[in-house]
């Protein structure tokens, strides 16, 4: 007799579009019965900024996305691709080359990979670094979680609050605690790209 195998629960159709952070923020806020003011207070972001993010008028930094997730008490991944079902097992996710929506923030351009499953404990982001200097970047950022980057094209400089700047070339990888103030800029004339792995939890 063959062992019983539980059939994985089918993925639900998602009404909200991957990458629409403002739409996902608004949907999550309404599902939890929270006002913009309540989310602003819990996340440490002004109510005006929360409103502008929801309406697509400004793009939040990754640090702001993490703080919003913390204020909503959800995984960071939910703001990238929100689903109401996080309980299924035996899941599988696939992203084909050139598939997936692109999310642009002031510092990076992201393409989430295999992010249509909310129960994942990590996120993988195909990332383009958009700033050439720390001044352009706007200062170091810090938030909860862990991160690892692998440079896939160009060269980058990783700036932190405790260590000397680190230069990374194609194939180089660096992991760090996200509570360490950090910023990543590209070297040369062409924006660099990286594969970025980070915690899904705020």
Note down pLDDT in tens along the chain; length 202 residues: 334 333 333 333 334 444 478 888 999 999 999 999 999 999 999 999 999 999 888 888 888 888 999 899 988 878 876 555 555 677 788 899 988 888 888 899 999 898 777 667 888 999 999 999 999 999 999 988 899 999 999 999 999 999 999 999 999 999 999 999 999 999 999 999 999 999 866 5
Phi, psi of 8 (to 5 degrees): -60, 145
Give the up-direction half-sphere exposure of residue 49: CA atoms within 13 A in the CB hemisphere. 14
pLDDT of residue 104: 87
pLDDT of residue 121: 81
- Looking at the chain, the domain(s) classified CATH 1.10.260.40 span 21-80
- Looking at the chain, the domain(s) classified CATH 2.60.120.10 span 103-199
Note whether 142 and 178 are within 8 A (CB). Answer: yes
Can you tell me the distance from the alpha carbon of 24 to that of 27, in angstroms, rounded to the nearest whole number? 5
Given its phi and psi angles, is residue 66 left (phi above 0), alpha (psi -120 to 50 degrees) or beta?
A: alpha
| The domain made up of 21-80 is a member of CATH 1.10.260.40 | yes
pLDDT of residue 80: 78
Phi, psi of 201 (to 5 degrees): -100, 140
CATH class of 103-199: mainly beta
Note whether 64 and 72 are within 8 A (CB). Answer: no
Phi, psi of 79 (to 5 degrees): -80, -20
pTM over 0.85: no
Beta strand 103-104 with 108-113 is antiparallel
């Amino acid at each position: 007799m063959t062992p019983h195998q539980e059939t994985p629960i089918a993925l639900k159709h998602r009404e909200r579009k991957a990458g629409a952070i403002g739409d996902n923020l608004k949907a999550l806020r309404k599902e939890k019965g929270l006002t913009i003011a309540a989310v602003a207070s819990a996340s440490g972001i002004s109510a005006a900024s929360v409103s502008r993010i929801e309406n697509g008028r400004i793009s939040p930094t990754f640090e702001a996305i993490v703080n919003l997730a913390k204020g909503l008490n959800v995984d960071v991944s939910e703001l990238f691709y929100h689903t109401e079902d996080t309980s299924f097992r035996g899941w599988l996710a696939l992203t084909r080359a050139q598939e997936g929506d692109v999310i642009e923030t002031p510092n990076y351009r992201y393409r989430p990979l295999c992010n249509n499953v909310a129960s994942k404990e990590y996120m993988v982001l195909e990332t383009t670094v958009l700033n050439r200097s720390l001044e352009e970047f706007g200062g170091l950022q810090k938030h909860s979680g862990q991160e690892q980057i692998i440079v896939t094209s160009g060269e980058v400089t990783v700036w932190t609050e405790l260590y000397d700047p680190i230069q990374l070339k194609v194939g180089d990888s660096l992991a760090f605690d996200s509570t360490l103030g950090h910023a990543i800029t590209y070297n040369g004339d062409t924006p660099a790209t990286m594969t970025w792995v980070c915690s899904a939890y705020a």
